[in-house]
Structure 1
Amino acid sequence: MNEADALARSWREARLPAAGVHLDSAACSRQSLAAIEAAAAHARHESEVGGYVAAQAAGHVLDAGRAGIAALTGMSSDDVIFTTGSGNALHLLLGAWPMERTVACLPGEYGPNLAEFAANDFTWQVLPVDGLGRVDPEAARRMLGDAPPAMVHLTAIASHRGVVQPVAAVAEVCRELGVPLVVDAAQALAHIDCVVEADAVYSSSRKWTAGPRGVGVLAVRPALADLLQSPPWAGSMSALECLELGEANVAARVGFSVAVGQHLAAGPEAVHRRLAAVGRATRTALAEVVGWRVVEPDDEPTAITTLAPTDGADPVQVRARLIDEHGLVTTAAGIERAPMELTTPVLRVSPHVDASTEDIAALVAALSAVT
């Protein structure tokens, strides 16, 4: 059995059988039984000894989760805090932002991120990109050098398009100019290599790491973390530590920590290779479906395939019919996901490492039938 087949088999064996065909990992992957059972065991322990005692007892598991995220982002465990998700992580970071409130971001920036910028009084300029929405690092160097913002915010893989941004090249530009780089890794963590020299990285649990909903992470390097604004009651606590305080679903954090451990045990590079191969196979198959255009290049190293309708199909209705009539789960991405760039809704397909050729063939047949 080759590496890809072994990885797919172990992924399936770690989970309940899918009810249908799940091709929606960019929205929410299927949790493993180990992650579910770890969260449930913690909830039972809360019932036995109380939530705060149980949280203290789970400290070693949460520390392991932080260490795992640190390994995946190239930071240290002390740089990592838990949040309730990607949006919450950005909200916390922007609320404590210590410098001028100006940001450079993608024209395809995620809509809720733009709302967070606006709510925190940030003004933004857009980075220069090519026809796929991918940053041109040299053009960015010239633009940022002429008018440096206080932050560059880069969504490593967008919500509406499975194109990888040149994060490492942008990080180099930001280091040269002394501008902090913040990376939205909601679609990137456990999907592509996220060990880059960013000043802050944040992500969610429920996507490619296949953890529970309602939990995420924020990792901030000390050079930036030491500048964050502390609340007046902080005392000896750092500003970063203060951001993690508050009511928390510790059971979900435990489940997420287990999911991160499983990803590391599977081998991140092997997962990346398998996801890229699944993406190539999916795009090749879907390129033949009449009425849709595959947006990503065939060899884009992601498992996300975006389909733009060419003959007036409604992605929202198509998604609903794929679920109701064929048991196939995908995402209909509306223009609100990228309001500065997206002009029509698209259909997003995002299988994980367990996707089979039969799954993709079923999608092709079903999509042809409902279009």
Structure 2
Amino acid sequence: MSTTGTPAQSWRDARLPPAGVHLDSAACSRQTLAGIEAAAAHARHESEVGGYIAAQAAAPVLDAGRAGVAALTGMSPDDVVFTTGSGNSLQLLLGVWPMDRTVACLPGEYGPNLAEFASRGFTRRALPVDGLGRVDPDAARTMLSDEPPGMVHLTAVGSHRGVVQPVAAVSAVCRELGVPLVVDAAQALAHIDCVVDADAVYSSSRKWLAGPRGVGVLAVRPALADLLQSPEWAGPLSALQCLEFGEANIAARVGFSVAVGQQLAAGPEAVRERLAELGRLTRTLLADVPGWRVVEPVDEPTAITTLAPTGGADPVAVRARLIAEHGIVTTAAGIERAPLEMTTPVLRVSPHVDAYTDDLETFVTALRAVT
């Protein structure tokens, strides 16, 4: 198959050759050589002039990273702060939350998010969903208007299921009712359209943006940011700026900023279309593999395909054999990812732009062999 000049080949050419078949981008994508070198160059600069001088020199790169995130979320660069990851973003936001500590979220909410809500004293209510766990906006309007919560928290694409939530429709409901909407975009940023008029959006670097681990972002609109509780020591700093104050891995933030720039240069819409195409292809190829059921509809516009075992296969053991025997990386997702909804572990397949049909066919053959 000829791949010269294709988006897949351009994506692959920007990276080291994969050691096997990487179908695990929903966990951690492969960084580009440019991103790795930018982070390494910053680390070398820290060695030459010291960390704080190097950080000052990196300010334009970091500002460009914030501007790129702003473009992907429909916010402004001043609305964006760096964090250490998605979980840290939510933790920071909940720590300064200024309103009632009640949250309406999905029945399939990500387990660590549930734990964070509980530790911060939030009372949880479940949003109405269909059989795939997708929110029903009309039913949500009725539920939320009866007793408005302090926050609606919506995970745009789940960790355990590649189903897209109707974020824009939920956002319109929240605007109508005056309820703040916070979007977990860990699996969504650079994967689906995240310009959705939310009050806050947070995400990580390492998934679909293909940046380094240990970096995240939190974007908060001024109407909400102005209400956040500032610490006593804040002085001239806003509450949002205080969330970014403290020790940080600036080299990783530089690498992340480069990754965001490369995402924008590749064309966010083109990337999303390619990922949706790969999702359709993956589900089609996997539809008849014995012992597994494809969870998502074939045309779901994500690159995540979830396989639920139907014949007693253990996803953890299957994942281990795929790596050891075939050099194929996937995810075994346990019920802790969505403890209020999942009843059995699943196998998750998540190719990025550089996956070819040959890679997916290799995976299907290997899955048949190890199941």
- Sort the TM-score into its range (normalised by shorter chain): over 0.9
The alpha carbon displacement at 1:182 in A equals: 0.1
* 1:20-39 matches, cutoff 5 A: 20-39=20-39
Partner of 2:343: 343
2-side partners of 1:353 and 1:288: how far apart? Answer: 24
Partner of 1:284: 284
Specify the SS of the correspondent of 1:339.
Answer: coil
Specify the SS of the correspondent of 1:342.
Answer: coil
Partner of 1:253: 253
* AA partner of residue 251 (structure 2): A
* 1:26-175 matches, cutoff 5 A: 26-175=26-175
Partner of 2:319: 319
- Call closer, same or farther: CA 1:353–1:146 in 2, change over 3 Å: same
2-side partners of 1:230 and 1:134: how far apart? Answer: 35
Cα contact 1:127–1:135 (8 A) shared by 2: yes
Cα contact 1:3–1:270 (8 A) shared by 2: no
2-side partners of 1:42 and 1:201: how far apart? Answer: 28
Partner of 2:183: 183
2-side partners of 1:304 and 1:338: how far apart? Answer: 16
Partner of 1:363: 363
* AA partner of residue 258 (structure 1): V
Specify the SS of the correspondent of 2:154.
Answer: strand
What per-residue deviation string (whole Å, max 9, x for no partner) do you get for residues 263-309 of structure 1?
A: 00000000000000000000000111100000000000000000000
Cα contact 1:55–1:250 (8 A) shared by 2: yes
2-side partners of 1:99 and 1:171: how far apart? Answer: 18
Specify the SS of the correspondent of 2:81.
Answer: strand
2-side partners of 1:360 and 1:288: how far apart? Answer: 14
What per-residue deviation string (whole Å, max 9, x for no partner) do you get for residues 40-65 of structure 1?
A: 00000000000010000000000000
* AA partner of residue 61 (structure 1): V
The alpha carbon displacement at 1:189 in A equals: 0.3
The alpha carbon displacement at 1:5 in A equals: 6.2
- Call closer, same or farther: CA 1:219–1:4 in 2, change over 3 Å: farther
* AA partner of residue 87 (structure 2): G
Structure 1 vs Structure 2: percent identity of aligned residues?
A: 82
* AA partner of residue 155 (structure 1): T
2-side partners of 1:312 and 1:247: how far apart? Answer: 47
2-side partners of 1:214 and 1:5: how far apart? Answer: 32
The alpha carbon displacement at 1:6 in A equals: 1.6
Specify the SS of the correspondent of 2:6.
Answer: helix
* AA partner of residue 33 (structure 2): L
What per-residue deviation string (whole Å, max 9, x for no partner) do you get for residues 16-53 of structure 1?
A: 00000000000000000000000000000000000010
* AA partner of residue 360 (structure 1): L
1-side partners of 2:344 and 2:368: how far apart? Answer: 20
What per-residue deviation string (whole Å, max 9, x for no partner) do you get for residues 115-163 of structure 1?
A: 0001100010000000000000000000000011000000000000000
- Call closer, same or farther: CA 1:336–1:290 in 2, change over 3 Å: same
5+ residue gaps, structure 1, are none
The alpha carbon displacement at 1:246 in A equals: 1.1
Deviates more, 1:266-275 or 1:5-14: 5-14
The alpha carbon displacement at 1:73 in A equals: 0.1
2-side partners of 1:253 and 1:17: how far apart? Answer: 24
What's the RMSD between the two structures over aligned residues?
1.2
1-side partners of 2:204 and 2:4: how far apart? Answer: 25
The answer on 1:222 being equivalent to 2:222 is: yes
The alpha carbon displacement at 1:353 in A equals: 0.6
Specify the SS of the correspondent of 2:161.
Answer: coil
2-side partners of 1:362 and 1:100: how far apart? Answer: 51
2-side partners of 1:104 and 1:349: how far apart? Answer: 29
Specify the SS of the correspondent of 2:332.
Answer: strand
What per-residue deviation string (whole Å, max 9, x for no partner) do you get for residues 243-273 of structure 1?
A: 0011100000000000000000000000000
Specify the SS of the correspondent of 1:129.
Answer: coil
Q: Structure 1 runs of 4+ off > 4 angstroms?
A: 1-5
The alpha carbon displacement at 1:2 in A equals: 11
Aligned residues: 371
Specify the SS of the correspondent of 1:168.
Answer: helix
- Call closer, same or farther: CA 1:3–1:369 in 2, change over 3 Å: closer
- Call closer, same or farther: CA 1:151–1:263 in 2, change over 3 Å: same
2-side partners of 1:345 and 1:335: how far apart? Answer: 6
Cα contact 2:3–2:9 (8 A) shared by 1: no
> Normalising to structure 1: TM-score of the pair?
0.99
- Call closer, same or farther: CA 1:263–1:82 in 2, change over 3 Å: same
What per-residue deviation string (whole Å, max 9, x for no partner) do you get for residues 192-224 of structure 1?
A: 100011000000000000000000000000000
5+ residue gaps, structure 2, are none
